Chain A
C-alpha cells in the first residue's frame, strides 16, 4: 500500500531524511518511532505530497507521490502534528468543508460527515466553534478531518502529543479500531505507544532507518542491558546450551559463522546490568573450547532508545 524507496530530503545543507526505505502492507498499522528531529515529520510530509523529496521515490496505493500527487491526495487522510483546524468554524461546518475539498460526493457528504463525527466522538459538540473546544476534542476533530473521506491510508503525526492520559488512551483505542480498514502510519517518540498500537515498527534516527521489527522484539532489545558477540571454536549445540545456562545470560542467539566452519558466532544478551564477559570467558576456557573473539555488539539502537521517551506518566504499559 505504501512503498518508500531511498527517499532523501535536504533543507539547504541539512539532511533531514537520508535514504529512507520501508513498506507498509494493506491494513497494517506501522509505528514510525524516533526521537525529536529524527525526520519523522519530514518523511510524512513527503508521503502526503506536502513536500517533494530531494531524491528517491515513494508510492501510495500505487501512485507516485510526486507524479500523481492528486491521486495520492484523494486516498490519504493526514493529521499533522498540530491538527489543521480553522478554529473560527463550527465542528460540523469544518468537517463538511474538508469532505468537500477531499472530493466526497455531494450526495454522500451529509452522511459521511455525520458518521465521521460519530466515529471520532465529536457528534455532541458538532455545533461548537472549534476554538472553544479542549485540546482533546481538537485532536478528535483533527482525526475526523483525516477520516471523513474514508481514505485508504491514514498518516498520523504524533497523534497523542499534548493529551492527558485519559485522552491518550481514547485516541489509541480509536486508532487501533481503524486498523484493518485503513493502512496507518503513526509517528511517535514514545516507545510504549508503538507496542500498544502498532503491529510493526520502523525506527528512525538522524534521518536514517536504524531498525525495523515487531514491537515485542524492540522491548526485548531495550531490557537487555548488554549485548556481546562471541566467536567460539567447539561443538555448536553444546556451546549454545552451556552459555544459555549461565546465570547472567538471558539469551543466546546463533549468528552467522565466519569462514572457519568450526568457529561459531553467538549473540549474548544479559537481562540485568551484570557484566557477562568474564563469566562467558571462564565458561569457554573451562569447557576446553577456544575463544576467538568477544566484543560488545551493535549498540546503535540503544543510543536511539536513550533519546526516546520510554516511560509515560499515568498510562499503563
Chain B
C-alpha cells in the first residue's frame, strides 16, 4: 500500500513539474470557457427574445429551463473535449518510462505491477478531478445569474468523471504498448472515438444489432447523467470499461516481459 502511494505522489509531482498538467488543464478550461460563453449568451438571447414576444402578446413570460438549454449541451461539449485532452494525460505514464529507461528501475524494484498500475491510474484520475473542480467555477457563475437545478449538475459531473475514467484507463493501456507518447495518445483518441461513434451506426444496421451497438457506445450512457438521471446501469457500464482498460494494461505489462519489451 505504501508503494502505491509513493507512485501516486511521484506521478502527481511529475505532472506539475512539467508543463503537461498546466497546458492540459488550461486548454481544457479555456475551450470549455469559450463554449460556455457561447452557449450561455445564446441562452440569454433566446430568453430575451421570448420575453419580448411574451410582452408583445401580453402573455406571461415562458419559463425556459437553463439546465436543459445550457448546462446539458455544455456537459456534452466537455465530454468531447475530455476525449481530446485526457489521452495527453495518460500518454506518458508508461511510454515515457520505456523511452527513458526508468521502466528498468520500476520493474526491478519490489513494487508489484498492480501497485504501479493502480498508482499511475490514480494520479491521472486525480489530475482529471482537478480539471473538473476548476471547471465548476463556470457552474457557480450560473447560480449568480440564474437559478439552475443542482441535481442535474451533480449527476452531469458524475457522468463526466466516470466517462473520463474510461478514457484514462484505455489511455493507460495504450501507453503500455509503445515507447512513443504521441502514438499512445493518437491510438487512445482513435479508440475512444470509435466507441463514441459506435452508437451512430445503430441507425444503419438491423434494429437488434443497433441496440447492441448502442449498449457499447460511451456517449449513449452519458446522456442520462446530463439530463439529471442517475441510473446505476450506466455507472456499472463505465466502471466495467475502466476495469477492462486496467486489466488489459496489466496483461500488457506482464506479457511484455516474455516478449522482451
The number of chain A residues with a CB under 8 A from chain B is 31
- Tell me whether A102 and B110 are in contact (CB under 8 A): yes
In the complex, chain B residues whose CB is within 8 Å of the CB of A50: 104, 107-108, 257
Q: Hey, what's the 0/1 contact readout for A5-35 against B, CB within 8 Å counting as 1? A: 0000001000000000000000000000000
Give residues of chain B (57-72) contacting chain A, Cβ–Cβ below 8 Å: none
- Once the chains bind, are B6 and A49 in contact (CB under 8 Å)? no
Chain B contributes a number of interface residues (CB within 8 A of A) equal to 26
A window 99-134: CB within 8 A of B: 100-103, 106
B258: nearest residue on chain A (CB-CB)? A52
- Residue pair B102, A85 in contact (C-beta under 8 Å): yes
Min C-beta distance of A47 to chain B, whole Å: 10
Main secondary structure of the interface of B (DSSP, over half): helix
Segment among B10-18, B180-188, B196-204, B236-244 that sits at the interface with chain A: B10-18
B101 touches A51 (CB 8 A): no
A270 on the B face (CB < 8 A): no
Evaluate contact between A98 and B108: CB separation under 8 angstroms.
no
- Contact pattern, A 80-96, Cβ under 8 Å of B = 1, otherwise 0: 11111111110001000
Least CB distance, B106 to chain A, in whole angstroms: 8
Interface presence of B147 (CB below 8 A): no
Answer whether A80 and B111 are a contact pair too, CB < 8 Å, given A51-B257, A88-B17, A101-B3.
no
C-alpha spacing A87/B101, complex, angstroms: 11
Answer yes or no: B232 CB below 8 A from chain A CBs: no
Are B100 and A52 interface neighbours, CB within 8 A? Answer: no
Q: Which of A70-78, A172-180, A287-295 contacts B (4 or more CB under 8 A)?
A: A70-78
Residues of B within 8 A of A82 (CB): 100-101
Q: List 20 A-B contacts (CB under 8 A).
A: A11-B260, A45-B104, A48-B108, A50-B104, A52-B257, A73-B109, A73-B110, A78-B108, A80-B104, A84-B100, A85-B102, A86-B10, A86-B100, A88-B18, A93-B13, A100-B6, A101-B106, A101-B111, A103-B110, A106-B2
9 further A-B contacts with Cβ under 8 Å, apart from A73-B108, A80-B105, are A50-B257, A70-B110, A74-B110, A78-B105, A84-B101, A84-B106, A85-B102, A101-B106, A106-B2
